[in-house]
Structure 1
Amino acid sequence: MKKAFLSFMSFFVLVGLLVGCSKSPKEPDQQETVEMVTVTDVKGDVEIPKDPKRIVDISGASDILSLIGYEVIGTANSDGYDYTILPTYLEETLADAQILGYSMLAEMDVEAIMALNPDLIIISTVQEKMYDQLSKIAPVVMVEMKQVDWKEDFLHVAGVFGKEAEAQAWIDNYLAKAKEVGEQIKATYGADSTYLSFLASAGSLFIFDQAGLGSILYNDMGLLKPVGMPEQEDISLPVVSLDGLASIEADYIFAVGTDEDLKTLEESSIWKGTKAVKEGNVVILPASPYFNQGYSPIGRLAFVDEVQSLLAGMHE
C-alpha cells in the first residue's frame, strides 16, 4: 500500500512540473508594452504601433513602404495580369510577403488578412468599404493612391509615417540616374529622336503619356515626344486606333502587349508601314510586367537600368 501511495504522489508531482514548464516565461503584467504613436491619414488621426512588425498592405504601396524602411507580410502589389504572382521587378523586395489580391480591387479576403495576425493594416481609398471590418483586426491606415503622379503618391504615403526626407532622397537619386541615362541615350540615338510607348491589350491601343513607361521616357529621362501624341488628361490612358497609332511620328517605339494582341498588331499592314517598324526601331515587351512597371518606383528604376540594353537589342 505504501508503495502504491508513493507512486500515486510521484504522478502528481510530475504533472505539476509539466504544467509549470508549459507556462509562458512572462506573466501578462510582465509582457512588453507596444508603444503607440498618432499619425494622420486621409480619414484623420489614428493610433498605430511606433515600430510595426507585422504590416499587411493592400493599398498598392508595398514597394513604397519597403523604400522608407518597412517590411510587409501581406501585399496586394500583384501582377496586373495575374493576381496570384508578383511582378518580376518586385519578386526580390516582396519575396516573403503573402499575396492577398490586387490593389485596384475594392475587396480582399478578410480571413486571409486576419490569419496573418497583423499589427498594422494599410488600405487605400479603393478599399474604404473594408475599413470598419479591418479595424476590428488591427489599426488601419488609409492612403490615397491617385496613380497619376508617382512622386505625389510616394510622398503622400511617406508623409503619413513621417518619412518624407527618406522618400525625397530616394526620388532625387532616382531622377538623377534617369536623367543621366536619358543623356546617354540622346548621345547614342540622337538628341532629336522621339520615343513612343503604348499598351496593346484586349483589342485596344493605350498610349503611355503622363503615366506608365511614357512618364519615365519624357519626364524622368528627358526624351522627346513624337508629333501627333494624344495628351493624357486623367488616370485613364488615351486610346487610339491603328490608324491613330500610325499617325504618331515616332523614331523609336516600345510596344507593350499580350501575346495575342501583339500578334494581331504585327500582322497589320498599317503597323508594318510605320516608320519605326520599317527601320527596325521597335522594342517588343510583354504586358506582364511592363504594364504595371511604370506605376512603381522600384519598377521605374528597373526600367531605367535596362532601357539601354533593350534599345541595343532592337537589331539583334
Structure 2
Amino acid sequence: MKKIKVLAVLTLALTTFGLIGCSSNEAEKQDKDTRVVETVKGEVKIPTKPKKIVDISGSSEELLLLGQTVVGTANVDSYDTENVPSYMKDLLGDAKVVGHSMMETADIEAILALEPDLIIMAPRQEEIYDQLKEIAPTVMLEDKSNNWEAKLTDVAKLFGQEDKAKAWLDAYYKKAEELGKEIKSAKGEDATYLTVLSSSGSFMVFSEGGIGTVLKEDMKLPQPTNMPKQDSITLPTVTMEGLSEIDADHIIVIATQSDKADLKASSVWSEIRAVKEGNVTILNASPYFSQAYNPIGRELILESIKDSVIK
C-alpha cells in the first residue's frame, strides 16, 4: 500500500514539473517572439520580427532600410498624394497606399484588410488610435518629420536595430562629404549654392531645411553670406528680385512644370547672375520637394546634385 502511495506522489510530482517546464518553455518562446517598446502612449508589446507592417507615420523608408516588410504605407508624393514617390515604387512593391502621412486620419478598412501584425502611426493621427490598436499592436512615435536622422534612430529602436541605423548613417555622411569634395574640386572651394522652391513667381528658400541641409550640412557646400533668416519650421520667402540680391554662384530650383514655364518667360530671371552664367539646376517638384526629408530619398539627392552641378 505504501509503495502505491509513493508511486502516486512521484507521478504527481513529475507531472507537475512537466507542466511547469512546458509553461516555462512557452513563456520563453513568447518572450522571444515579442518585445516591449516605449511609445507616446506608453509601453506596447510588439512582435520581435513583424511580418506585415502598416506605416502611416511617414516612416516607410526607414523601415525598408532596416529590412522590415511594409504592406501598407502613407509615404506619398507631395504633388501626387494617391501614389508613392517615383523613386520608391520598386522598393515598396505591392505595398498599398492607405493614407497621407501628414493627414490626421487614414483608410481604416484598407488597413484592416491588410491584416498587419504591427501598425506605426504619428501623434497627428491620435483620433484613430483606438481603432488601430484593435487591429494590431500600434506604436505611436514622436513626430520627428523635420529631423530625418532622429526619425530613423527612433524607428530602429523599435526593433533593436540601432547599430544597423548607425552603420547606414555613417556610410551616408561619408558619401555626402566625398561627393561634396568632388563638386568643390570641379567648381571651386568657395562657390556658393542656393536651393529654393519656385512658387507662383516667388521662391521659398531652404535656408535651414529640406534639400538645403543636404548641401550645407551633409555635402559641406557653402551658402551665400546674405541668406534670409529662417526663424521657424516655415521656409522664408523671397521675390525674384530678392533672389537676385542673394547672388549665389549656383542656384538649385525645385519647380512644377507651370513654374518652369514662368521662369523661362521672366525677363528678371534671365538677368540673375547664376542664370546668365548657366549655373542653374532645375529639379522636378515631384518627387524632389519632400525627398530630402526621408533617408532613401536624401541619399539619391546626393548623386542628382553632383551630376547636375558638374556638367
Native 8 Å contact 1:80 1:291 kept in 2 = yes
CA contact (8 A) 1:148 1:210 kept: no
Tell me what 2:24 maps to. Answer: none
Label 1:273 to 1:302 Cα distance change in 2 as closer, same or farther (>3 A). same
Q: How far apart, in 1, do the equivalents of 2:47 and 2:150 lie?
A: 25
Partner of 1:225: 223
The 3-state SS of whatever aligns with 2:293 is coil
Matched, 1:278 2:270: no
SS of the counterpart of 1:284? strand
Q: 1:170 aligns with which of 168, 171, 177?
A: 168
Contact 1:147 1:153 (C-alpha < 8 Å) held by counterparts: yes
Match of 1:307 in 2: 305
* Superposition pairs of residues 173-252 of structure 1, within 5 angstroms: 173-201=171-199, 204-252=202-250
Residues 207-258 of structure 1: CA distance to partner in whole angstroms, max 9, x if unpaired? Answer: 1122211110000000000132113333222222222212111101111111
Question: How far has the Cα of 1:67 moved from its partner?
Answer: 1.1
SS at match of 2:196: strand
What SS does the aligned partner of 2:81 have? coil
**What SS is found at the alignment partner of 2:259?**
helix
TM-score by length of 1: 0.85
**What is the rounded CA distance, in whole Å, between the counterparts of 2:155 and 2:53 in structure 1?**
14
Contact 1:179 1:221 in 2 (8 A): yes
Distance 1:55-1:208 versus aligned 2 partners, 3 A rule: same
| 1:26 match | none
Number of matched residues? 282
| Corresponding residue SS for 2:246 | coil
Q: Percent identity?
A: 47
Secondary structure, aligned partner of 2:150 = helix
1:255 counterpart = 2:253: yes
Range that drifts further, 100-109 or 235-244: 235-244
| Partners of 1:232 and 1:298 in 2: CA distance | 26
- Which residue in 2 is equivalent to 1:124? 122
Residue 204 of structure 1 deviates from its aligned partner by 4.1
Matched residues in 2 for 1:270 and 1:223: separation? 26
Q: SS state of the match for residue 165, structure 1?
A: helix
CA-CA distance at 1:268 after TM superposition? 2.0
Distance 1:200 1:296 in 2: 21
Q: Contact conserved, 2:58 with 2:74, CA < 8 A, in 1?
A: yes
After superposition, the C-alpha distances for 1:61-112 in whole angstroms (9 at most, x for unaligned) are 0000111221100001111111122212212221221111221111111111
Where structure 1 has 5 or more consecutive residues not aligned to the other structure, the ranges are 1-31
Contact in 2 for aligned 1:49/1:120 (Cα 8 Å)? yes
Give the structure with the larger helix fraction.
2
SS in 2 for 1:210: coil
1:138-176 C-alpha deviation (Å, 9 max, x unpaired): 110011232332212211222233222111111111000
Structure 1 residue identity aligned to 2:304: E
Deviation at 1:37, TM superposition (A): 1.5
Question: Contact 2:37 / 2:45 at 8 angstroms: preserved in 1?
Answer: yes
Between the aligned partners of 1:233 and 1:156, the Cα distance in structure 2 is 26
| CA RMSD in angstroms, aligned pairs only | 1.7
Look up the SS of the partner of 1:92 in the other structure: helix
Work out whether residues 148 and 234 of structure 1, in 8 Å CA contact, stay in contact via their aligned partners in 2.
no
Residues 33 and 47 in structure 2, CA contact (< 8 A), matched pair in contact too = yes
